[in-house]
């Protein structure tokens, strides 16, 4: 699912999507895109378990995790495994929701994602 305004294919309604939904294999490792500090690990309706990281004035969020490997206050490096992607029974299936914020404003996160 792309960043920005998304149109529901059935109802035609438009809703903002503050991040991207990345398709991946169930339980695949989810890695931090940049070094930072974990400031929150929590559960959110329709997004499952999430980990939020601070990167100076930026923050990133990783949701729909089936497992988390980080805890609040932990300092991590880029590439550190934050957790595991969801499974088919998770709110977003085996996908991972990734959001990026500058202060509190969502921004398109695709430039922060490495091409694999």
pLDDT at position 116 is 47
Classify residue 78: in a domain, yes or no: yes
Task: Judge whether 1 lies within some domain.
Answer: no
72 in a structural domain: yes
Q: How far apart are CA 101 and CA 105, in angstroms?
A: 5
Q: What is the pLDDT of residue 9?
A: 87
2 is a domain residue: no
Band the pLDDT of 114: cuts 50, 70, 90: low
Q: Are 94 and 108 in contact (CB under 8 A)?
A: no
Q: Whole domain around residue 79: which residue ranges? A: 19-110
Domain assignment present for 9: no
Domain count along the chain: 1
Is 80 part of any domain?
Answer: yes
In a domain, 71, yes or no: yes
- pTM of the predicted model as reported, rounded to 2 decimal places: 0.88
State the chain's mean pLDDT as an integer: 92
Is 79 part of any domain? yes
Is residue 60's pLDDT more than 90? yes
Task: Pick the more confident residue, 6 or 64.
Answer: 64
3-state secondary structure (DSSP) of residue 61: strand
- Can you give the CATH number for the domain in which 59 is found? 2.70.70.10
pLDDT(113) > 60:
yes
> Containing H/E element for 40?
strand 36-44
The mean pLDDT of 79-97, rounded to a whole number, is: 91
């Amino acid at each position: 699912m792309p960043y920005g305004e998304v149109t529901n294919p059935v109802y035609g309604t438009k809703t903002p999507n503050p991040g991207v939904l990345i398709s991946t294999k169930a339980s695949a490792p989810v890695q931090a895109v940049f070094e930072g500090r974990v400031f929150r690990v929590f559960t959110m309706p329709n997004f499952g378990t999430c980990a939020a990281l601070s990167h100076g004035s930026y923050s990133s969020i990783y949701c729909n995790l089936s497992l988390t490997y980080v805890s609040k206050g932990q300092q991590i490096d880029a590439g550190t495994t934050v957790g595991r992607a969801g499974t088919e029974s998770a709110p977003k299936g085996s996908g991972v929701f990734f959001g990026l914020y500058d202060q509190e404003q969502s921004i398109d996160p695709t430039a922060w994602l490495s091409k694999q």
